Amino acid sequence: MMERWTPRVTVAAVIEQDGRFLVVEEHTPTGLRLNNPAGHLEPHESPAQGCAREVLEETAHHFVPTALVGVYLSRQAGGPAGAPRELTYLRFAFCGTVGASLQGRRLDRGIVRALWLSAAEIRASQDRHRSPLLLQCMEDYLRGSRYPLDLVRTDWDGTSVVHNTPHR
C-alpha cells in the first residue's frame, strides 16, 4: 500500500516597514539561512493565528495579519534522516502590522537573530535563502498581492473561524 501524500502546512509573514523587510537568520541542516518568520501550523489554530505566533516566537515582535499575500506549494528534495525523500510544503503567507521588539524575549530554538533587510539585500542574498519562497513572497507583496483574511476559513466542530475570531 502506498503511503498517503500529506503536505506540511506552514505559515509565513511578509513584514515591511520603511522599505525594509523583517527576516530571520536560522540554523538549518545546510548552515545559516535567511527566511521569512515562518513555521508549521499547530493544531487548533487558524493560519493567521499560527502566523502571529510564529512571528512572536522567531522575532520577539507582536504581529497582526491584515491580508493574505498568497498560498504556495513547494516541493523540496532530501529531508532529514528518516524523512521522506521529497517534502511538500503548503505555505500561507500573510502581511500585516508589527509592533516594537520585546526586549529580553528569547527567540525560538535555531533562530540566531531577526534583522531588517531591503528588497535589494534580499534579492542579492538568494544563495543564503532557506527556500525560494522567501523571495517569491516578498516579490508578490511588492506587486501588491493582497487577499482578504476571510478567504481562509477554518472549521472546528462546526464553528467557523475568520480573522482569528469565532464567527457566529
Per-residue model confidence as pLDDT tens digits over 110-154 = 999 999 999 999 999 999 999 999 999 999 999 999 999 999 998
Residue keyed to cell 498560498: 71
Higher per-residue pLDDT: 87 or 108: 108
Residue 120: predicted pLDDT: 98
On the question of pLDDT at 165 being above 50, the answer is no
Question: Could you report the per-residue pLDDT of 13-40, keeping only the tens digit for each?
Answer: 999 999 999 999 999 999 999 999 999 9
Question: CB-based contacts of 163: which residues, under 8 Å, 6+ apart?
Answer: 48, 149, 150
Q: Whole-angstrom Cα distance, residue 116 to residue 108?
A: 18
- Structural domains present in the chain: 8-151 (3.90.79.10)
> Is the pTM here over 0.75, yes or no?
yes
